[in-house]
Amino acid sequence: MTARGTQWILHVDMDQFLASVELQRHPELVGLPVIVGGSGDPTEPRKVVTCASYEARQYGVHAGMPLRTAARRCPDATFLPSDSAAYDAASEQVMGLLRDLGHPVEVWGWDEAYIGAHVADLGAACALAERIQQVVTAETGMSCSVGISDNKQRAKVATGFGKPAGIHALTDDTWMSTMGDRRVDALWGVGPKTTKKLAAMGILTVSDLAATDAAVLIGTFGPTTGLWILLLAKGGGDTTVSAQPWVPRSRSHVVTFPRDLTDRAEMDAAVVDLAQRTLTEIVEQNRVVTRVAVTVRTNTFYTRTKIRKLPSPTTADDVIVGTALDVLGQFELDRPVRLLGVRLELATSAEPATVVTTGS
């Protein structure tokens, strides 16, 4: 325990990421089997599935499978070509949102990252995970799963229990009860070859491996691998999130309502609350606001964000709240509203930082 709290590591993994990016561009395909790969031609030889939607996975389609095989298993699927530029852009947006939360972020590929957060306790870590999901979904329309633990390997395993769009924590108290009876290949980092060698030694489950004498494992796998897989079985792992300090470019809060809103006064009140909560955090960091964005999601899951630049950077409550309400007024609020969000973009060192101090 430090003055900043205990470090928790959160593993953020985007759900069906490439398929989700495509579904943002093809909303008519939501809920249908979608397969991404190659040029989008399922008859194309020697091309494989890059990503399959959850609906396609129900037919046994998975990444790495030949497109022709996928077409036989799921003939009614829509096949789409891979678009690396689109996935790069979507990944950059997601990782930027994660960094803007103010914690170190270590990116692992397009669709996953580790966040190292010094917070008070597991409850605070779970609250951060919920906020991550809210922000990512509000800003991108995509969902993510979050695993929580005190090291990367255990957090990664935890994420699998949260799929899709869930949150799961694994700690010393819950590790063996959750993982003990599972096969050793349930551990992240234990592959088929190692699993086969362990099986030949009569070591089949995580609890079997955790109870094995270190000298036995060293004799078979060597000191590095032998001690590492023993550590994994006991729930240990790497506790370092290697990322440079990040200066947030924005702060945001979103809320999903327990019932859809149809009354404009209730929408206004929610936006005022979101703007004020976000502004309070910004003032505490001695930053100033340059742009105000409002996100609206209707009960049909139609999501859109509108943004307005302020005349000059400010932390004035009346200016920022008033602007947020004005931006909300730009939407045609003719359908019940499921979610509202407010994002305040911040001045950088390159921007003039003249602060307007009028208002409350």
Catalytic residue from among 55, 112, 139, 345: 112
Q: Which domain holds residue 326?
A: 250-346
Closest among 150, 82, 149 to 158, alpha carbons compared: 149
Is residue 10 domain-shared with residue 156, that is, in the same domain? yes
* CA separation for the pair 168, 19 (Å, rounded): 23
Is residue 140 domain-shared with residue 212, that is, in the same domain? no
Query: How far out from the chain centre does Cα 335 lie?
Result: 28
26 domain residue, yes or no: yes
Exposure of 82 by Cβ count < 10 A (0-12 exposed, 13-18 middle, 19+ buried)?
middle
**Facing residues of 114 across strands?**
11, 106
Can you tell me whether residue 209 is helix, strand or coil? helix
Is residue 91 domain-shared with residue 79, that is, in the same domain? no
Q: What is the reported pTM?
A: 0.74
Is residue 154 domain-shared with residue 42, that is, in the same domain? no
Residue 310, φ and ψ in degrees, nearest 5: -80, 155
Can you tell me whether residue 168 is helix, strand or coil? strand
* pLDDT tens figures, 272-286: 999 999 999 999 989
Which pLDDT score is estimated for 349?
A: 59
> For position 277, which CATH number holds?
3.30.1490.100
Total domains present in the chain = 4
* pLDDT tens figures, 124-173: 999 999 999 999 999 999 999 999 999 999 999 999 999 999 999 999 99
Is residue 10 domain-shared with residue 103, that is, in the same domain? yes
143 domain residue, yes or no: yes
Indicate if the pLDDT at residue 84 is higher than 90: no
353 domain residue, yes or no: no
Q: How many CB atoms lie within 10 A of CB 344?
A: 26
Is residue 168 domain-shared with residue 197, that is, in the same domain? no
Does the annotation mark 112 as catalytic?
Answer: yes
239 domain residue, yes or no: no
Is residue 158 domain-shared with residue 218, that is, in the same domain? no
Is residue 56 domain-shared with residue 133, that is, in the same domain? no
Exposure of 32 by Cβ count < 10 A (0-12 exposed, 13-18 middle, 19+ buried)?
middle
245 domain residue, yes or no: no
Whether residue 229 contacts residue 194, with contact meaning beta carbons closer than 8 Å, is answered with yes
Q: Which residues contact 257 (CB under 8 A, 6 or more apart)?
A: 270, 337, 338, 339, 340
Confidence of residue 46 (pLDDT cuts 50, 70, 90): confident
Is residue 10 domain-shared with residue 140, that is, in the same domain? yes
Is residue 10 domain-shared with residue 123, that is, in the same domain? yes
What average pLDDT does range 83-92 have in this prediction? 91
Cα–Cα–Cα angle for 266, 144, 152, rounded to 5 degrees: 130
1 domain residue, yes or no: no
Backbone dihedral region for residue 241 (phi beyond 0: left; psi -120 to 50: alpha; all else: beta): beta
Is residue 159 domain-shared with residue 185, that is, in the same domain? no
Can you tell me whether residue 75 is helix, strand or coil? coil
333 domain residue, yes or no: yes
Which pLDDT score is estimated for 109?
A: 85
Which DSSP state fits 77? Answer: P
> For position 139, which CATH number holds?
3.30.70.270
Which DSSP state fits 59? Answer: T
Is residue 10 domain-shared with residue 147, that is, in the same domain? yes
> For position 43, which CATH number holds?
3.40.1170.60
SS (H, E, C) 312-340: EEECCHHHHHHHHHHHHCCCCCCCCEEEE
Q: Which of 134, 154, 173 is the last residue of a domain?
A: 173
Residue type (1 letter), 25: R
153 domain residue, yes or no: yes
Which pLDDT score is estimated for 44?
A: 83
Q: Which comes out higher in pLDDT, residue 356 or 8? A: 8
